[in-house]
Structure 1
Amino acid sequence: MSLIHRYQNNGYNIVLDINSGCIHVVDEVTYEVLPYMEEGLDAAAIVGKLGNQFSEEDIRTSVAECEKLREEGMLFTKDVYENAIDAFTKNRQTVVKALCLHIAHDCNLACRYCFAEEGEYHGRRALMSFEVGKKALDFLIANSGSRHNLEVDFFGGEPLMNWQVVKDLVAYGREQEKIHNKKFRFTLTTNGVLLNDEVMEFCNKEMENVVLSVDGRKEVHDFMRPFRKGAGSYDLIMPKFQKFAESRNQDKYYVRGTFTHHNLDFSKDVLHLADLGFKQISVEPVVADPAEEYALREEDLPKIMEEYDLLAKEMIKREKEGKGFNFFHFMIDLTGGPCVYKRLSGCGSGTEYLAVTPWGDFYPCHQFVGEEEYLMGNVDDGLVRTDIQKEFSGCNVYTKPACKECFARFYCSGGCAANGYHAHQDIRSNYEIGCELQRKRVECAIMIKAALAED
């Protein structure tokens, strides 16, 4: 298993020390020296290998500098946490800290790629009652242990189709905060069709974050996110989204899009949103049945990789011009190294995070809703299927075979369990196309940091 990952991007020779998270931008000599050092060769042997490319003095200097980094724990570091995983999983006390409330299994759009089947999730249309939502919040409080901060996402379908219940549940949550010494962090995801001034005002007061669903350019958005009768939704939602983002001072929101086989040139969609003034942007690859005409395919990968490179270079340029914006998938924190807790715990679905249907059923996350084998319980009876919770608690980078050799494993925490399940019917498997794209995004994110650190 390699301890370092080397790559070249935008003129930079970059080396990631996988286990410590240390990033090194190196010269050409060091870039070529490092693989031989990892093999265990000494300076003399490396001179024998590279002496026809570089001077002996340069090679020996490079080896000496790399040895010093090794001694300081910044290069060729070992993974000190792998042996702790069994004890961590066995002794881990699980508390629930977040719920995704499916406040509406109904939608006023008919997005082609919607895993929720126009908001219906393999079943009937329904709106969550205040009573069910209240019980869900009570469950979260009761199962959160000593944790103070709790998260609740109002999700759908389209949550604004059940807006009064959203407001009532926020009010109930605020009452319970005082009683139980908790703090609710409410978030909302919306397609914007029903967005108005009253909703914006309420969200700006109560919602910690708001996700605004838009796919980018008008023709792309209208093709994938039409109304049920076929008309596009871009012209209706875009002015409202711009107004909303400004009202939140371009913070604590993000516009979120999905790119598919139909818009492999998605960097244009990201930049379109940036040109409209949005500062917080996420445009993510669709995850779909390979049989779907819009699904991403293996042969799409070179084009997608090229788009990430184009986007990264443009983001550097705009940042230096004072016109920067955040792109969700390029946002990684390189200051503290890979998060120990995340590498051991995974994404938290099925353990710390649950989805709640309109009628009060619990599932590991929103992408498992409707998969009856993953029905975990309900708001009346609590978590009945603790075996599912246990299965998810052991789902992390150390238990997923495909993660063992992946340099990016500590940045994605093993990836999405739902994607693995839908690809291979196994939550410990991986969605290969998603993994390839994750690795590319990590490389681009590190390169951007390197480029901006030069100034």
Structure 2
Amino acid sequence: MSLIHRYKSNGFNIVLDINSGCIHLVDEVTYEVLPYLEEGLGTEAIAEKLENKYNREDIETSVRECNKLKEDGMLFTKDVYENVIEEFSNNRQTVVKALCLHIAHDCNLACRYCFAEEGEYHGRRALMSYEVGKKALDFLIANSGSRKNLEVDFFGGEPLMNWQVVKDLVKYGREQEKLHNKKFRFTLTTNGVLLNDEVMEFCNKEMGNVVLSVDGRKEVHDYMRPFRKGAGSYDLIMPKFQKFAESRNQDKYYVRGTFTHHNLDFSKDVLHLADLGFKQISVEPVVAADTEEYAIREEDIPQIMEEYDTLAKEMIKREKEGKGFNFFHFMIDLTGGPCVYKRLSGCGSGTEYLAVTPWGDFYPCHQFVGEEQYLMGNVDEGITKPEIQKEFGGCNVYTKKDCKDCFARFYCSGGCAANAFHFQGDIKGNYEIGCELQRKRVECAIMIKAALACD
């Protein structure tokens, strides 16, 4: 298992020390010295390997500097957490800190790629009642232990189709904060069809984050996100989204799109959204069975990789011009190294984070809703299948065999359990296309940081 990852990008020779998260920009000599050092070769042996290409003195200097970085714990560091993962998982007290409330299993759009089947999730149309939502918040408070900050996402379908209940539950949550010494952070995901001034005003007062669903260019968005009778939704929602983003001072929201096989030139969709003034942008690859005509295929990957490179270079250019924006998949924290907590616990689905259906059933996350083998309990009885919680609690980069040799494993925490389940039938598996794209995004994110730091 390699301890470093080397790659070239946009004129930089970049070296990631996988376990510490340290990033090094190196010259050509050091770029070629490093693999031999990792093999354990000494200065003399490395000089013999490279003496036809580089000056011997430069090689010796490079080896000396690399060994100093190793001594300082910044290069070829070992993973000190792998041996404690089992003990950590067994002894950790699981507290629930977030709920995804499926406030509406109904939708006013008919998006072609919707995993929720127009909001129905393999089942019936339904709106969550205030009583069910209230019990869900009570469950969260009761199962959050000493944790003060809790999160509740109003999700769908389309949450605004059940807007009064959203408002009532926020009011109830605020009342409970004082009684239990908790603090709720409410968030909302919406397609914008029912967005109006009253909704915006309420959200600006109460919602810590709002996700606005839009796929980019008008022709792309209208093809994938039409109304049920076929008309596009772009012209209706876009002015409202622009107004909403401005009303939130271009912060605490993001426009979230999906790219498919039909718009592999998705960097144009990201830049279209940036040109419209949005500063917080996420456009993500569709996850779909390869039988779907819009699914990402293995042969699409080279073009997608090029698009990420194109986007990364344009983002650097715009940042230097004072016109920068955030792209969700390129946001990476390099200051603290790979997050220890995330590498040990994964994303938290099925343990710290649960989805709640309109009738009050618990699932590990929104993408498991309707998969009956992962029905965990309900708002009346609580968790009735703790073995599911335990299964998810044991899911992390150390229990996924395909993560073992992946340099990006500590930035994705082993990837999405739902994607692994749907593609390999096992939450400890991997969605291979997703993994390839994740690695590329990590490389681009690091390169962007390097380019801006060197300016």
What does 1:181-260 align with in structure 2 at a 5 Å threshold?
Answer: 181-260=181-260
SS of match in other structure, 1:160: helix
Q: How many Å separate the matches in 1 of 2:300 and 2:5?
A: 24
Q: How many Å separate the matches in 1 of 2:56 and 2:236?
A: 66
Q: How many Å separate the matches in 2 of 1:54 and 1:384?
A: 66
In the alignment, does 2:104 pair up with 1:104? yes
User: Deviations along 1:295-347, whole A, 9 cap, x unmatched?
Assistant: 00000000000000000000000000000000000000000001111000000
In the alignment, does 2:83 pair up with 1:83? yes
SS of match in other structure, 1:193: coil
Q: How many Å separate the matches in 2 of 1:154 and 1:85?
A: 33
In the alignment, does 2:120 pair up with 1:120? yes
Equivalent residue for 2:44? 44
Equivalent residue for 1:261? 261
Q: How many Å separate the matches in 2 of 1:86 and 1:301?
A: 35
AA paired with 1:204? Answer: N
SS of match in other structure, 1:395: coil
TM-score (norm 1): 1.00
Q: How many Å separate the matches in 1 of 2:372 and 2:388?
A: 12
| Per-residue deviation, 1:265 | 0.2
What does 1:412-431 align with in structure 2 at a 5 Å threshold?
Answer: 412-431=412-431
Q: How many Å separate the matches in 1 of 2:146 and 2:51?
A: 61
Q: How many Å separate the matches in 2 of 1:170 and 1:189?
A: 15
Equivalent residue for 2:342? 342
| Per-residue deviation, 1:452 | 0.1
Q: How many Å separate the matches in 1 of 2:410 and 2:134?
A: 36
Q: How many Å separate the matches in 2 of 1:350 and 1:53?
A: 54
Equivalent residue for 2:384? 384
User: Deviations along 1:220-263, whole A, 9 cap, x unmatched?
Assistant: 00000000000000000000000000000000000000000000
What does 1:16-165 align with in structure 2 at a 5 Å threshold?
Answer: 16-165=16-165
| Per-residue deviation, 1:357 | 0.1
What does 1:426-437 align with in structure 2 at a 5 Å threshold?
Answer: 426-437=426-437
SS of match in other structure, 1:36: helix
Give the root-mean-square deviation of aligned CA atoms. Answer: 0.2
Q: How many Å separate the matches in 2 of 1:155 and 1:356?
A: 10
AA paired with 1:404? Answer: K
| Per-residue deviation, 1:448 | 0.2
Equivalent residue for 1:176? 176
| Per-residue deviation, 1:89 | 0.7
List gaps (5 residues or longer) in structure 1: none
AA paired with 1:151? Answer: E
| Per-residue deviation, 1:151 | 0.1
Q: How many Å separate the matches in 1 of 2:451 and 2:245?
A: 28
What does 1:303-322 align with in structure 2 at a 5 Å threshold?
Answer: 303-322=303-322
In the alignment, does 2:356 pair up with 1:352? no
| Per-residue deviation, 1:167 | 0.1
| Per-residue deviation, 1:32 | 0.3
List gaps (5 residues or longer) in structure 2: none
SS of match in other structure, 1:37: helix
Runs of 4+ in structure 1 off by over 6 angstroms are none
AA paired with 1:124? Answer: R
AA paired with 1:161? Answer: M
Q: How many Å separate the matches in 1 of 2:392 and 2:92?
A: 12
Task: Using the aligned pairs only, state the percent identity.
Answer: 87
Equivalent residue for 1:167? 167
| Per-residue deviation, 1:36 | 0.2
Q: How many Å separate the matches in 2 of 1:163 and 1:422?
A: 32
Q: How many Å separate the matches in 1 of 2:329 and 2:341?
A: 20
SS of match in other structure, 2:209: strand
AA paired with 1:112? Answer: R
Q: How many Å separate the matches in 2 of 1:425 and 1:367?
A: 14
Equivalent residue for 2:443? 443
SS of match in other structure, 1:295: coil
User: Deviations along 1:183-204, whole A, 9 cap, x unmatched?
Assistant: 0000000000000000000000
The alignment of Structure 1 onto Structure 2 pairs a total of residues equal to 455
Q: How many Å separate the matches in 1 of 2:163 and 2:402?
A: 42
Q: How many Å separate the matches in 2 of 1:260 and 1:209?
A: 25
Q: How many Å separate the matches in 2 of 1:289 and 1:389?
A: 27
| Per-residue deviation, 1:377 | 0.3
SS of match in other structure, 1:78: coil
